[in-house]
Amino acid sequence: MQETSLEFKGLKKGLYAVYKGTGGFEDFIGALEAKLNSSGDFFTGAYVAGVYGIELDEIEEDILAQILQERYGIKTKRPLSGKNGPPGMDGSGEMATRFVYSTLRSGQKVSYEGNVVVMGDVNAGAEVEAGGSIVVMGTLRGSVKAGVPDNNDATVSAILLKPTQLRIGSIVVRWPDEERHIEEPEIAYVEQGRMYVRSVYDVK
């Protein structure tokens, strides 16, 4: 078992754990814990929407969900596992993901043609621009542009969603100045030409 046999991909509905090993459940858990332990607190508070590359039964999914929640503070959505990759990762339309392992401070900018996952905060005055979706594993207070230039299927999600400006594809909104007292991960998306924000736990 090698740590590199498992990686995380940031896509529309959250993070996906992609297992590339050939072992069974114990090897998968070992690879998962090696990855999480080497990442410090980066994944604390994250949301895992799926596990791919290994098929788990109901009991194994229960064990996995318990390990993620109790040891690492990571929430999950059920069912978790599947043999194939998540949508957009089947080789026909995969969009690459760039991970940024730091907090972005005022004046800093990250641009990437694929998805962007920031393992930290995006402070006011910082900017993230992506051709795909944007996931912030912290507080988002800066400016973000997802789906550049006109991909309205992209999304923006964060542990705390409080941007100064938010753009998805061709839809741009300026965030209200008043404080929103919502302390849970949220996702912004476009539907029928309008932008909506909802809890990630409500995503079907």
pLDDT averages per 10-residue partition of the chain, 204 residues: 63 73 91 86 77 89 92 83 54 69 96 90 97 93 91 92 93 77 86 90 67
Residues in the chain: 204
**DSSP H/E element including 6:** strand 6-11
All domains in the chain, ordered by first residue: 3-82 (3.30.750.50), 97-202 (2.160.20.70)
Q: Do residues 112 and 129 lie in contact, with contact meaning Cβ atoms separated by under 8 Å? A: yes
Distance (Å, whole) CA 94 – CA 119: 21
Predicted local distance difference test score (pLDDT) of residue 31: 92
* Token pair belonging to 163: 């941007």
SS3 state at 97: strand
Predicted local distance difference test score (pLDDT) of residue 17: 85
